[in-house]
Each structure stands twice: as C-alpha cells, then as structure tokens.
Amino acid sequence: MTTTSNVAAPPATPVPQHRSAARRRTPASMAGAAVKYTLVLLFLIIVLMPAYVLVVTSFKSGSEIGVSGQWDLPERWTTESWAKAWSALRPSFLRTIELAVPVALISSLLGAANGFVLSRWRFPGADVVFTLILFGMFIPYQAVMIPLRDIVTTIGLPPGIPTLIFVHSVYGIPICTLIFRNYYATTVPEDIVEASRVDGAGLLRTFRSVILPVSIPGFVVTIIWQFTSAWNDFLFAIFLSNTRNGPITIALNALAGAQSPDYAAAMAGALITSLPTLVVYILLGRWFIGGLMAGSVKS
C-alpha cells in the first residue's frame, strides 16, 4: 500500500462504492445515516464559517465595521474595501506572479532530472543521496536564515524578488525530487529505460525521448505545489524582502497587521491574496492533492 503512487492516480479519483449495494435499510442503519449526514453537514458549516466572514465583511464599507451586526450581511453592499485593498496590494500581487512562476518552472525541471536519475538511472548509494536531499524539506528554515541573508548579498543577487526566486527554487528541490522520483518509479517501467540503454541511447537522450514525454502529470503536480508554496510563503519573504520589493503576503501583513486594522479592507485583501491559489485548487484539485500526498514520503 502506498500513498506515493497518487501522483499518477490521486485519491480524488472516484473509487467505486462496493459497499453501498450490500447496505440494507434497517432502522439502525437509517439512524446511522442520519447521524453521518448531520455530522458531515455540521463540519461543512464550521469549515466554511471563516470564508463567510471574509466574503461578507469584505463587501462592507470601513465605517460599517462596528461591534454590532458583525455577522450580518452588509447593510449596503459596496466594493470600496476591495478597491482600497487592491490599491494597497496591486504592486506586490504582480511581483508575486513574477516570483511564483519562475520558481515553479525551475524547481520542477531540477526535480524531474533528479527524480529520473534517482529512480531509473541509479548509482551505488543513490538511496543515501536521496535521503540527504529529502532532509532539506523538513528543516526549519530559521536554521539557515542567518547566513542565508549574507550569502545572497555576497553572490550578488538583487534584493527582493530575484533573491526569493533563487531561494525558493533551491529549497523546493527536495519536494520536487521526491514527487518525480515516486512518479517515475511507479509509471515508467524499468524495462523501457533499460531497452533505451541497450539501444545505445545516453542519459540525456533517454531522458528527453523516453521520460519527458510521459512526465506531464508529474510536472502539473510539482508546478502547482511550488507555485502555491512560493505564493503563500511568509517566512522567507519577511527575512529577505520588505513591503517595497516583497511578495503579497508581506503587503497583506502590513495592511492587516496594524493595532486596529480596517477589517473590511483587510479581509478583501486576504481574499485577493488567496484567489490565485484557490482558483488553482478548485480547477486542478486532484493534482493539488497529488502534491499533498507526496509530502508524506512513504507509507
């Protein structure tokens, strides 16, 4: 049993319900079903509650945010808080696109190359090397942050987005390597690689003509994963950039972090910040889950 093969077939794939046919309609089973549906609906409401607050509050004007009627629908629906939030976040929104897209592409390419070598072009000690790579995805980044700030300046990376592109790409290598290694190990038969080898094809030609054409699902997963991580990151951003050159999380934190913030604008800002990753999640949910599952390494 493995959760790692889910890159190919994520659990979001509908599984036939074998048991439903066998279920009989006894009073006990109907009571059980009632409890079950009550619970799943209750949890649905609880999980959605913060989303309700975000949406409703964001359409209020800053002056309507008082103590009374906090949970009510706006008396007057207005987009003025959205406009306020957008003007505060727009520059950083664009910068975050400039950050997250290259990060997703660079670390995915490196991850594909590594994953291929570590699964299908193995050398003695490949497992040890793999484990050493993997460790990089678990470390608390504080443990590298102090010298990291100096070293990126020393090697001459411009502050802000270029620095963050580099840093996210490097620390994204472990997870992308893991995803591609598991992907190739489960979807590319060893024989095909071996046959290509026997035919005299070198590593790069095998990678290009045999592996890359079947890699698209793996790329979708790593690109989504890296895009989301870079978009949502706050830790690297706060250590390595500021509100003038940093990504959107920094700008949102500045907008919402004041002692008594304008909650209407802050919540509109939180929605604007979350929109890209939410759209990705809703449209490409099953691949999103594939990346999540890969995070569990093995089971």
Partner 1 sequence: MTKNLRRWGPGLLLLSPSLILLAVFVYGLIGWTVKVSLSDQHDALGSKGFVGLDNYVYLFTEDINGRFLHSLRNLAVFTVVFMVGTMLTGLLWAFLLERGVRGEGVFRTVYLFPMAVSFVASGVVWRWLMNPSTGERAGGLNAIFQSLHLDFLQSEWWTNPQWGMSAMAMPAIWQLSGYVMALFLAGFRGIPNELREAAAVDGASTFQLYRRVLFPQLTPVALSAVIIIGHMSMKMFDLIMSVSGAQWLTEVPAVYVWQALLTSDYAKAAAISVILLLVVAVVVVPYLVYTDRQEKRA
Q: How far apart are CA 93 and CA 107, in angstroms?
A: 21
Minimum distance of partner 1 from residue 79's CB (angstroms): 18
Minimum distance of partner 1 from residue 158's CB (angstroms): 18
Task: Please check whether residue 231 is in contact with residue 276, taking contact to mean a CB–CB distance below 8 angstroms.
Answer: yes
Q: How far apart are CA 261 and CA 65, in angstroms?
A: 10
Query: Judged by CB, which is closer to partner 1: 85, or 161?
Result: 85
Query: Judged by CB, which is closer to partner 1: 57, or 245?
Result: 57
Minimum distance of partner 1 from residue 280's CB (angstroms): 7
- The enclosing H or E element of 90 equals helix 80-120
Largest CA distance in the chain: 76
Minimum distance of partner 1 from residue 139's CB (angstroms): 6
| Of the candidates 279, 177, 271, the residue with the CA atom closest to the CA atom of residue 228 | 279
Minimum distance of partner 1 from residue 201's CB (angstroms): 11
Query: Judged by CB, which is closer to partner 1: 183, or 207?
Result: 207
Query: Judged by CB, which is closer to partner 1: 104, or 270?
Result: 270
Q: How far apart are CA 289 and CA 299, in angstroms?
A: 16
Minimum distance of partner 1 from residue 84's CB (angstroms): 14
DSSP state of 2: -
| Of the candidates 51, 107, 79, the residue with the CA atom closest to the CA atom of residue 278 | 51
- Name the 3-class secondary structure at 127: helix
- Measured in residues, the chain has a length of 299
Task: Please check whether residue 120 is in contact with residue 203, taking contact to mean a CB–CB distance below 8 angstroms.
Answer: no
Query: Judged by CB, which is closer to partner 1: 17, or 213?
Result: 17
Minimum distance of partner 1 from residue 62's CB (angstroms): 14
Q: How far apart are CA 57 and CA 73, in angstroms?
A: 8
Residue 19 CA: distances (Å) to CA of 10, 11, 15, 81:
21, 18, 11, 50
Query: Judged by CB, which is closer to partner 1: 160, or 225?
Result: 225
Minimum distance of partner 1 from residue 297's CB (angstroms): 5
Query: Judged by CB, which is closer to partner 1: 161, or 227?
Result: 227
Query: Judged by CB, which is closer to partner 1: 161, or 250?
Result: 250
**Which sign, positive or negative, has the C-alpha torsion 226, 229, 231, 234?**
negative
Residue found by looking up tokens 């299908």 in the block = 120
